[in-house]
Amino acid sequence: MKVPVAVIPAAGRGTRMRPATRSVPKALLPVVDRPVIQWIVEEGMRAGVAEFVVVVSPGVDDLLYSHFEGMEGLEELKGFADVTLTWVVQEQARGLGHAVLQAQEAVDRRPFFCLLGDNLVVPGRDHLAAMAEASDGRSVVCLRPLTDEDLERYGVAEVGEALAERVVEVTGAVEKPGRERAPSRLGFVGRYLFTPEIFPLLAGLSPGYGGEIQLTDAIARLGETGRCLGWVADEDLLDVGNPSGYLEASTALGLWHPAVGARYREFLRGLAEGS
Amino acid at 176: K
Pairing of β 139-145 and β 228-232: parallel
Q: At 159, phi and psi to the nearest 5? A: -115, 135
Q: Which is nearer to ligand G1P, 154 or 264 (CB)?
A: 154
Does 119 interact with ligand G1P (rule: CB under 6 A)? yes
Nearest approach, Cβ of 16 to ligand G1P (angstroms)? 9
**Region label for 32, one of left (φ > 0), alpha (ψ between -120 and 50) or beta (otherwise):** left
Rule CB under 6 A: choose which of 14, 25, 155, 177 binds ligand G1P. Answer: 155
Does 246 interact with ligand G1P (rule: CB under 6 A)? no
**Rounded to an integer, what distance in angstroms lies between the CA atom of residue 142 and that of residue 136?**
15
H/E run at residue 31: strand 30-31
By the rule CB under 6 A, 44 interacts with ligand G1P = no
CA distance 174 to 95: 15
Q: Which of residues 203-222 bind ligand G1P (CB under 6 A)?
A: 214-216
187 lies in the binding site for ligand G1P (CB under 6 A): yes
CB within 8 Å of 69: residues ≥ 6 apart:
none
Which one of residues 83, 116, 142, 201 is an interface residue with ligand G1P (CB under 6 A)?
Answer: 116
Site map 94..113 versus ligand G1P, x via CB under 6 A: --x-----------------
Least distance between ligand G1P and beta carbon 244 (Å): 14
* Binding status of residue 175 toward ligand G1P by CB under 6 A: yes
Binding mask 58-97 for ligand G1P (x = CB under 6 A): --------------------------------------x-
Residue nearest to ligand G1P (CB): 155
What 8-state DSSP symbol labels residue 146?
-
Cα torsion 21, 27, 28, 33: sign: positive
Q: Which of 77, 100, 114, 118 binds ligand G1P (CB under 6 A)?
A: 118
Q: What is the Cα–Cα distance from 71 to 201, expressed in whole angstroms?
A: 36
Give the C-alpha separation, 87 to 63, whole Å: 11
Question: Which residues contact ligand G1P (rule: CB under 6 A)?
Answer: 96, 116, 118-119, 154-155, 175, 187-190, 214-216, 241
